């Protein structure tokens, strides 16, 4: 009886030690995504929109020379893309940021109707500056309102 209790106690101590080691080795849990934040929740048509893109992936991300971002309008429960510009040049990889880096830019909102919107940003990870841009992943900002 004492022998069984001792064995169970030793197993529990070993499991606790393994759990502690895993937490220490793993470190704090970080979100493995690209975080897109904007400076305000409300804008007027043609206001300046300040955008911060934080790369929390384990690889670099690159952006298009044609459309660094798209705007989507909330339509009920769905989002629909708002066309606001056309690119007449080649769609190339223009800028990349490494893991744990950020990119900040400011852009004037296009003349669109009042409503609820978000930014949609496409990135590629398996590309290099000057190559043809190929969308691989999409990331989205929080919602914002245009009055």
Number of domains comprising the chain: 1
In a domain, 8, yes or no: no
How far is residue 146's CA from residue 71's CA, in Å, rounded to a whole number?
A: 12
Q: Residue 45's domain spans which residues?
A: 34-146
Confirm whether 9 is domain-assigned.
no
CA angle 141, 142, 147 (to 5 degrees): 110
Look at residue 16 in the predicted model and tell me its pLDDT. 59
* pTM to 2 decimal places: 0.73
What is the rounded radius of gyration, in angstroms, for the C-alpha atoms of the chain? 23
Q: For the domain that residue 76 is a member of, what is the CATH number? A: 2.60.40
Query: Is residue 17 in a domain?
Result: no
Nearest to 53 by CA among 129, 97, 99, 104: 104
- Residue 4 falls inside a structural domain: no
**pLDDT one-digit tens code per residue, 89-127:** 899 999 999 999 999 999 888 888 999 999 999 999 999
Tokens of 110: 């296009």
By the 8 A CB rule, do 119 and 68 touch?
A: no
**Confidence bin at 13 (pLDDT 50/70/90):** low
Using CB atoms within 10 A of its CB, is residue 133 exposed (0-12), middle (13-18) or buried (19+)? buried
Is 75 a domain residue? yes
Task: Tell me how crowded residue 12 is: count the other CB atoms within 10 A of its CB.
Answer: 10
- Of the chain, the percentage scoring pLDDT greater than 70 comes to 80
Confidence band for 17, pLDDT divided at 50, 70 and 90: low
């Amino acid at each position: 009886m004492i022998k069984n209790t001792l064995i169970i106690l030793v197993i529990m101590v070993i499991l606790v030690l393994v759990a502690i080691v895993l937490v220490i080795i793993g470190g704090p849990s970080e979100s493995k995504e690209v975080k897109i934040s904007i400076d305000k929740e409300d804008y007027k048509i043609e206001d300046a929109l300040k955008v911060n893109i934080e790369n929390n992936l384990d690889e670099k991300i690159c952006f298009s020379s044609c459309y660094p971002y798209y705007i989507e309008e909330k339509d009920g429960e769905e989002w629909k893309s708002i066309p606001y510009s056309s690119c007449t040049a080649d769609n190339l990889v223009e800028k990349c940021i490494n893991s744990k880096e950020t990119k900040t830019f400011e852009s004037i909102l296009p003349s669109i109707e009042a409503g609820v919107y978000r930014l949609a940003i496409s990135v590629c990870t398996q590309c290099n500056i000057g190559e043809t841009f190929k969308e691989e992943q999409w990331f989205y900002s929080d919602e914002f309102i245009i009055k």
